[in-house]
Chain A
């Protein structure tokens, strides 16, 4: 119990630092790929610090409520995961937090926000099946839905569910809103609809959103790490190395692909999920 509490506390304290650093690395690496100097590593923290100090302007009074709910539920989701909870519950909580963010955008009645909200919902529709399948894949591989049991297995899950990992990395691009799937909102300047989802969110409100994103990124990388972690402590090092590689891969993909149309995203993600995760599941069920 105390152990779980410690893990959750560590997550709540360290995740924003780690998430901010990850975003900083992403920015620096991106800049180098484009032949620019780029911002300093700590730039995301400076940004959020500045946003927090600014006056918040809101479009309506319930907008901030949804953003706070988004942050709280994201933290809750991550706490559930790093506390060793049930994978399916983690993902249900995750989709709830996402819906909160979409509602925040919807509530503003702004054209850019509304379009961003619709696109974000579509993105959720694209990655939701894969996220549930990952939980099922872990269950088939490790025999449990509990994260605590899944990290204490003999051989890494990736040996049994490599298809799931590929599918998950694919939808990770959608989840992180990286190009070519950065539809609802983008960190690139060439976004055609301002900031989409976050157009009408400003000041400390936007800072809360950014912090929630950091928590979310750490959670997602935690799930990637799950594929590699076993009883053996060395596996943690392997997992961290793999996470770094995959994260940098996302940055690379972000920089080399142009944005696609939404239907391309829907069809390609569902096909990829079916082919990788679906086949993987089929093979597992035949073996079992």
Chain B
């Protein structure tokens, strides 16, 4: 049997669920489990790469829409929706959070009613694998699977450290694979009903993952994530019903082909989907669920923050992007995105918990992606897609490294990472590359930011430009001070035992290499991955967004970044210099960590970073940000939906 793309895609959607069942059956952490997870995971990854390469290597527009035998699948999906609703109702009653039931019912029942009464339109095709899907499949297949493999080793260590948490790692790993399957389903579905189903799976899955430890905090945070995502789910549900019953559209690709000005009613489902995308991508005012998500073990944070959950929202926005150009919805989405980028980067300055900084930086970067997609320009979509790629890789690497550092040092506070380069050199180097990937000049994120800036300037959105430039300033501040903490060299400090197991290095190492390779390969990526996406999304040939002498200069910069450290090592610069202690006004007490005070006593000396909590603290900034953005969202919904009616 020859493998064709539809079969491969079905494999990608169904096989992770099979893996989930397998993972659930193996109760204890064992070599067997690692081997099965590795084999299954890598076969999914191989298939995802195969699909990605197959689709991307086809020149011209892809017409990979597939009619599958929809009847059986439709029944399965209907059953799945009822199952999800039952899970939510059961857990809500168990933990006495009844509001979640209401949201779940509002979202699911009308859609079920529509399906059962036959009011739903049967579209021509159900699956569609175009260039954007292919890019997303690559991200989920590579980054997502690496996180699953990382999780096998991590969960063993995690339960060694957290004996108070009941070991349900089989359940945890099963959920991760379910998540991957749902992601593949979502990005390759064209049928809106299917999109809705997979959307709900990811919501419920993230809810279950966040609540893994069952502590009070975890339960509260998981329900916060649940209600926010169910609210977004309601948006998708209503948008889907409106498309089916009023517009006679069953597929997402049909919706995005309509030019908005011919029919203003089309903007209603578009706005509802965009609203849902805001909740999934944790934009203000819905950011708090993502901040709460870090109570869960690190692999779930890595998965939610990098390759999957939050990327669904921006994926949806990129799909809708051509519709958003020049519309009121588009303007509102860009304002929310820009505002989120700026506000979250200020908030990131004030926290010292490593995971929390990463969480805020995720929100901030997603804001930038949202803003880019909202402009609806070609450069905007170019930047958004590029940002998704680089963010997925860098962020999953950073989360995993923070998780490993926590396992080694029992702390994930940035202040405790003082002198990490001496204590845990291997992890420190990986982390430095990850952080550089997030903000330093020649690395991908900054290139994308540059394109974003150009697209904002070209689309004449002054507010967005201002948000972006001020946000860049604060982004620089919080990353650079973290980088500085890691690079501090302390005398008479010894290496800690690096207990990172090999299964985790299997994940960390490829991601690190990927960041470096992507730095060099981004012009190629732009031509072969992003440019086709643009051509397809805008139905015309788009001139190259980036190119010429700039690429050469950026390549020189990337090369310099790697040549300077290597060169200085070869030339042994600084080796002949006389070593001394750092300057403490002449009162050093033998090393650079103690000084002699005025009583002649030796006292420890420690320099903390600046957090400026008295100016930008969470207690000061978070509530106003949420209120302001909530008002913007409500205005958007009222004006678009009210205005159209």
Contact = CB atoms under 8 A, between A and B. Distances in A.
A103 B477 contact: no
A128 B478 CA distance: 13
B574 A121 contact: no
B470 A270 contact: yes
Given A58-B580, A85-B549, A285-B460, A72 B560 contact: yes
The 6 A-B pairs of least Cβ separation, nearest first, read A110-B582, A106-B484, A64-B574, A114-B607, A128-B473, A96-B441
Given A64-B573, A110-B592, A129-B473, 9 more contacts: A58-B574, A65-B573, A99-B476, A106-B483, A107-B484, A108-B582, A122-B610, A136-B469, A140-B457
A88 B550 CA distance: 10
Contact of A88 (B450, B490, B568): B450
A132 B469 contact: yes
B487 A281 contact: no
Given A109-B419, A122-B610, A126-B473, A76 B560 contact: yes
Given A64-B574, A200-B583, A278-B466, A107 B440 contact: no
Contact of A95 (B462, B476, B564): B476
Contact of A281 (B465, B484, B574): B465
Given A57-B580, A64-B574, A109-B419, A89 B564 contact: no
A128 B564 contact: no
Interface in B533-549: 549
Contacts of A65: 564-565, 568, 573-574
Interface in B398-449: 419, 421, 440-442, 446
Nearest to A4: B549
B613 interface: no
A117 interface: yes
A133 interface: yes
A96 B615 CA distance: 26
A118 interface: yes
21 contacts: A55-B577, A58-B578, A59-B580, A63-B574, A64-B573, A76-B560, A89-B450, A92-B450, A106-B487, A107-B488, A117-B484, A118-B481, A118-B610, A121-B476, A124-B473, A124-B476, A129-B466, A129-B470, A145-B454, A199-B583, A281-B466
Interface in B557-578: 557, 560, 564-565, 568, 573-575, 577-578
A106 B483 CA distance: 9
Contacts of B579: 57-60
B480 A99 contact: yes
B173 to A, nearest CB: 39
A128 B472 contact: yes
Contact of B487 (A96, A103, A112, A263): A103
A55 B578 contact: yes
A106 B615 contact: no
Interface string A82-95: 00011011001101
Interface string B480-495: 1101110111110000
B477 A121 contact: yes
A122 B477 contact: yes
Contacts of A115: 607
A260 interface: no
Nearest to A99: B480
A59 B578 CA distance: 8
A274 interface: yes
A194 B583 contact: yes
A73 interface: yes
A102 B480 contact: yes
Contact of B584 (A62, A111, A128): A111
B574 A107 contact: no
A281 B463 CA distance: 10
Contacts, number: 186
Contacts of B575: 61
Contact of B605 (A86, A111, A113, A127): A111
Contacts of A86: 549-550, 553
Given A59-B581, A59-B582, A72-B560, A107 B489 contact: yes
B82 to A, nearest CB: 52
* Consensus secondary structure, chain A interface: helix
B3 interface: no
Contact of B557 (A76, A124, A127): A76
A120 to B, nearest CB: 9
A61 B465 CA distance: 41
A129 B472 contact: yes
A117 B486 CA distance: 13
A220 interface: no
B372 to A, nearest CB: 16
B253 interface: no
Contacts of B472: 128-129, 132
Most buried by B among A132, A270, A282: A132
Interface residues of B, number: 61
A69 to B, nearest CB: 5
Interface size class on chain A is 35 or more
Given A59-B581, A125-B473, A89 B550 contact: yes
B578 to A, nearest CB: 5
B592 A109 contact: yes
B387 to A, nearest CB: 15
B91 interface: no
A56 B577 contact: yes
Nearest to A97: B441
A122 B468 CA distance: 17
Nearest to B579: A58
Interface string A192-208: 00100001100101000
Contacts of B615: 263, 266
A21 to B, nearest CB: 29
B474 interface: yes
Nearest to B568: A65
Interface string A123-152: 011111110110010011000010000000
Contact of A60 (B489, B565, B578, B593): B489
A182 to B, nearest CB: 18
Contacts of A112: 583, 585
Nearest to A205: B577
Interface string A271-288: 000100010011001001
A111 B587 CA distance: 12
Nearest to A203: B577
A236 interface: no
B554 interface: yes
Nearest to B440: A96
Interface string A41-65: 0000000000000011111111111
B440 A99 contact: yes
B390 to A, nearest CB: 15
Contact of A125 (B476, B483, B488): B476
A62 B480 contact: no
A80 interface: yes
A61 B450 CA distance: 34
Nearest to A132: B469
B453 A56 contact: no
A85 B549 CA distance: 8
Contact of A92 (B446, B488, B556): B446
B578 A282 contact: no
A259 to B, nearest CB: 17
A68 interface: yes
Contacts of B564: 65, 68-69, 72
Contacts of B565: 65
A224 B184 CA distance: 52
Given A89-B553, A200-B583, A121 B480 contact: yes
B30 interface: no
B527 interface: no
B450 A62 contact: no
B489 A59 contact: yes
Contacts of B421: 62
Contacts of A60: 489, 579
B465 A136 contact: yes
A115 B488 CA distance: 13
Nearest to B461: A285
